[in-house]
């Protein structure tokens, strides 16, 4: 596996629940737009390429992330579809590809590197997992013999699966050589008619490829959908900086 790392950041969400006209990833966090935090971390790591997926009206986001590349998800057809929007920009990249969310902005470079390094053990997909105090309605990661067997959404989980506290953060890392081959096989046979990134694990396993989990703290993968959650992220970052 090559040492090269690239990242696709999903940043097409609206700020509706933030009660703002700004795109969600442009909401300020510790004095700069939320999207800048993962970009700064990735730049510090020296990643080779960053592509940000934006909404058609995401001009503000595209300007903010420049000179990094951006692409447009023309229709909101799910997270799997969003990553496929970056296919042209990622053409020919054969290293590790981090797929992360602009509203999970405080993941550390150590965790990103741990996910990318795991691919070298022969895995095609690595999922970032965490163990929250209250697993609530998160999707569960089912691991057997060190391999990720499946991601089960809470509503579909058996009682035994609900008892598992290893949860899906949504963030993943792919072998760039197989990534789009996997994503293009994801279907949309679900109530929403959307293409879900989480289905990449089932597709990869059907192709005979191996999947794995790396774990980080629940705090690190905390997301921001509301102003209250944004304030919580700010407190986590300040604590990390010793403020």
- Nearest CA among 99, 51, 55 for reference residue 74: 55
Q: What is the mean pLDDT of residues 193-205?
A: 96
Specify the CATH number for the domain of residue 41.
3.90.550.10
- Nearest CA among 195, 196, 243, 236 for reference residue 216: 236
Res. 86: pLDDT tops 80: yes
Tell me the per-residue pLDDT of 142-194, one tens digit each, with 9 for 90 and over.
999 999 999 999 988 999 999 999 999 999 999 999 999 999 999 999 888 99
pLDDT of residue 20: 83
- Nearest CA among 29, 79, 111, 36 for reference residue 200: 79
Percent of the chain with pLDDT over 70: 99
Residue 118 DSSP label: H
pLDDT of residue 164: 96
Q: What is the mean pLDDT of residues 28-43?
A: 96
Res. 43: pLDDT tops 60: yes
| Reported confidence tier of residue 58, pLDDT bands at 50, 70, 90 | very high
How high is the mean pLDDT of the chain? 94
Q: Count how many domains the chain has.
A: 1
Q: State both tokens at 96.
A: 């590790």
Domain that holds residue 183: 5-240
Please list the active-site residues.
17
pLDDT of residue 1: 40
Using alpha carbons, list the distances in angstroms from residue 161 to 141, 167, 201.
9, 11, 17
- Residue owning tokens 């407190």: 235
Q: What is the mean pLDDT of residues 102-116?
A: 97
pLDDT of residue 14: 81
pLDDT of residue 42: 97
| Reported confidence tier of residue 3, pLDDT bands at 50, 70, 90 | confident
Q: What is the mean pLDDT of residues 31-35?
A: 96
pLDDT of residue 2: 44
pLDDT of residue 151: 96
């Amino acid at each position: 596996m090559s040492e090269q790392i690239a990242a696709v950041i999903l940043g097409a969400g609206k700020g509706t629940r933030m009660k703002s006209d700004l795109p969600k990833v442009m909401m300020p966090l510790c004095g700069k737009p939320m999207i800048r935090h993962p970009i700064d971390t990735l730049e510090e790591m020296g990643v080779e390429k960053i592509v940000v997926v934006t909404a058609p009206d995401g001009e503000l986001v595209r300007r903010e992330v420049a000179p990094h590349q951006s692409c447009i998800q023309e229709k909101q057809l799910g997270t799997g579809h969003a990553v496929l929007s970056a296919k042209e920009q990622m053409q020919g990249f054969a290293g590790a590809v981090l797929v992360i969310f602009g509203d999970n902005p405080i993941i550390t470079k150590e965790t990103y590197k741990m996910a990318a390094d795991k691919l070298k053990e022969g895995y095609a997909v690595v999922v970032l997992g965490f163990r929250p105090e209250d697993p609530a309605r998160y999707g569960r990661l089912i691991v057997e013999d060190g391999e990720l067997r499946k991601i089960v959404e809470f509503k579909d989980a058996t009682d035994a699966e609900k008892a598992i506290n290893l949860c899906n953060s949504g963030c993943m890392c792919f072998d760039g050589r197989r990534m789009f081959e996997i994503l293009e096989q994801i279907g949309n046979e679900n109530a929403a008619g959307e293409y879900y990134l989480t289905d990449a694990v089932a597709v990869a396993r059907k192709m005979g490829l191996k999947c794995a989990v790396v774990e980080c703290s629940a705090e690190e993968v905390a997301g921001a959908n509301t102003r209250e959650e944004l304030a919580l992220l700010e407190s986590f970052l300040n604590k990390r900086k010793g403020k």
